[in-house]
Homo-oligomer: A and B are copies of this chain.
Amino acid sequence: MSKRLTVKIGLIQMSMVENQATNLKKAVAFVSQACKNGANIICLPEMYKSLYFCQKEEHYFFKFAESVTGETYQTFSLIAKKYKAIIIVPIFEKRTDGIYHNSLIVIDEKGNLAGLYRKMHIPDDPLYYEKFYFTPGDLGYKSFATKYGNIGTLICWDQWYPEAARLTALKGAKILFYPTAIGWHPSEKEEYGDVQRNSWMIIQKGHAIANSVYVAVVNRVGFEKVDNNSDGIIFWGSSFLCDPQGRVIVQASEKDEEILIAEVDFSYIDTVRTHWPFFRDRRIDSYEEITKRFID
């Protein structure tokens, strides 16, 4: 048996309002509380500082963007240092004039900027007009070495792509974090709500199983309407943490703000990969065409 390598994960499921200072203040309070409750690695939801403005294509919203070392980093760097915690914080990144990314930063327990990930897969669907705002990431998939072990980070739409999970795991990540903003169109909720959320859970549990890693998903919660000509989005919460066999360790409700805290044991990955040796048998000589759009 490997020596246990236990780490406490903190997931912040929160709702947002129009006033960004209010969101920032709340995020700081929740992250601080998670730290006080013993969390070693904490993750906030995608675009934690604003409403999900991608419901509308509006140039004004580009003003919300900040640099990698902007207000978000300055604020959470102090929290990370104070509590000696690793914090994963999504940011709406302004890289330069006309180039914006849907990103996240990893801040280490000394308050240093330890990593940057830029969302690779960008959606564009009714009320999720992200291709208008975000240039697709150009940093590839990331696993960051931390004092608690290697952690992988992806963002929302990435969660539907087995390739993204695989490449992050192949880089050594023992846990995949997915800050997220996903919800229901009110008119679809009754008929399709359950199947949509179930699909979202199944595919991410599938990534845990395929790669023998932990998976942590952090969604926002609450109803938001940015465009008066639309019905808005009911964000479905349901943030969860699952183990390398896809077992849910802890899950939040679909309506309430919650600070989820749960322990993982990174040494368990060694056990699972020895008993389910998927990595041993990958046919890497046969995967080349996965870089094709369609094989026709």
Contact = CB atoms under 8 A, between A and B. Distances in A.
B203 A199 contact: no
Contacts of A287: 163, 167, 290-291
A100 to B, nearest CB: 18
Contacts of A207: 206
Number of copies: 2
Interface string A165-209: 111001110000000000000000000000110110011011101
Nearest to A247: B195
Nearest to A242: B202
Nearest to A210: B162
Interface in A266-288: 275-279, 281-288
Given A160-B278, A167-B289, A202 B209 contact: yes
A97 interface: no
A257 B19 CA distance: 61
B121 A161 contact: no
Interface of A: 120-125, 136, 140-141, 157, 160-167, 170-172, 195-196, 198-199, 202-203, 205-207, 209-210, 245-247, 275-279, 281-296
- Ranked 8 nearest A-B pairs via Cβ: A206-B206, A162-B162, A170-B295, A203-B209, A202-B246, A171-B295, A163-B287, A203-B206
28 contacts: A120-B283, A120-B286, A121-B282, A136-B283, A140-B286, A160-B209, A161-B283, A162-B206, A162-B210, A163-B282, A163-B286, A163-B287, A164-B283, A167-B287, A170-B289, A170-B290, A195-B245, A198-B245, A198-B246, A198-B247, A202-B206, A202-B209, A203-B210, A203-B246, A206-B210, A279-B294, A284-B290, A284-B291
